[in-house]
Amino acid sequence: MSNFKATFLYLIFFIFVLLTRKLALVNGNAVPALYVFGDSTVDSGNNNYLQTRAKANFLPFGIDFINPATGRFTNGRTIADCIADMLGLPFAPPYLGLSEFERSKVITGINYASAACGILPLSGSEAGTCLSMDNQTEYFMSTIEKDLPSIISNSEEVILHLSKSIFLVSIGVNDYTTNYLKNFNGTWTGFTPEAFGEFLLNEFFIRMQASMTVRRPCCPADGKATSLCEPNMAVCEDRKKYMFFDGGHTTESANGILAQECFSGTICKPNIIELVKAP
């Protein structure tokens, strides 16, 4: 039963991956970057830099890769590498393997994935240190707030870059294998496999939202997705950097991007060009 749940969760993420890839290709536009989050299924070497037993920087790992034993948990390319190839992008380098200087130069995507870790902070901790989903999103925030602006000076262009990038997330297996199924000190007693699956998905979506590009609203309100700005409330200074003006409504810069996508892209079906052309 638990194995069934794990497979199910895994499938959800895999389908998510496939859908985003399909959209990118259907769109016909070049994809500027691939950002990778997750566990050993997509780690490209982050764990080489961490105190952990979960490492793959020795042969036979990578025996069929260009440089063997890079920290990939397979004999050759990972799912993330194969997708990078399909998109015509370089393999996303491991975040922890890049110097501060290198981080401020990479524009084609970064890999934050870390073997043994999962959605819940405690998952994987028995093996040592790893980057939990919270750690990964924190590093990604640093990429958005510090590194990308040093390459792309116009903040609207940063948003556009992110909106056209592919985000690959392959995570959740270790929340079962190194956490739920171990049941540590009885933390999960009383959680049926179904209840744990629900709990995990909820924790996943909370973190996905927290990791968004610019998800924080300009008008701070109370942080709820439904909250509006209050009369004469102080607002953020650089409104072009924000996607959301209040808890639920987009800024002008986001509206411009969405309108453009609706005009000629795929978010409106048919899009406006197709609609105008139609007899």
Ligand X SMILES: *[C@@H]1O[C@H](CO)[C@@H](O)[C@H](O)[C@H]1NC(C)=O
Residues of this chain that interact with ligand X (CB under 6 A) are 122, 129, 131, 134-135, 184-187
Q: Which residue is nearest to ligand X (CB)?
A: 135
Of 39, 147, 175, 246, catalytic: 246
Tokens read off for 107: 């524009």
Helix (H), strand (E) at residue 215: none
Nearest distance from C-beta of residue 178 to ligand X, angstroms: 13
Question: Minimum Å distance from CB 126 to ligand X?
Answer: 11
104 belongs to the catalytic site: no
CA dihedral for 248, 249, 253, 257, sign (positive or negative): positive
122 vs 235, beta carbon nearer ligand X: 122
* In the complex, least distance from residue 139 CB atom to ligand X, rounded to whole angstroms: 7
SS (H, E, C) 81-138: HHHHHHHCCCCCCEHHHCCHHHHCCCCCCCECCCCCCCCCCCCCHHHECCCCHHHHHH
For ligand X, the closer of residues 90 and 97 by Cβ is 97
Cβ atoms of 276 and 254 closer than 8 Å? no
Catalytic residue among 40, 44, 125, 165: 40
The Cβ-side half-sphere exposure at 27, using a 13 Å CA radius, reads 22
Question: To the nearest whole angstrom, how small is the minimum distance from the Cβ of residue 184 to ligand X?
Answer: 5
In the annotation, is 142 catalytic? no
In angstroms, the CA 217 to CA 119 distance is 24
Q: In this structure, which amino acid lies at residue 159? A: I
Q: What are phi and psi of 34, to 5 degrees?
A: -125, 115
CA dist 54 and 147 (Å) reads 28
Cβ proximity to ligand X: between 119 and 131 the closer is 131
- Residue with smaller CB distance to ligand X, 142 or 255: 142
Both tokens assigned to 138: 């924190």
Specify whether 249 is catalytic: yes
Judged by beta carbon, residue 134 or residue 156, the one nearer ligand X is: 134
Q: How far is the CB of 141 from ligand X (least distance, A)?
A: 12
Contact yes or no for 80/168 (Cβ under 8 A): yes
Which residues are catalytic, by number? 40, 246, 249
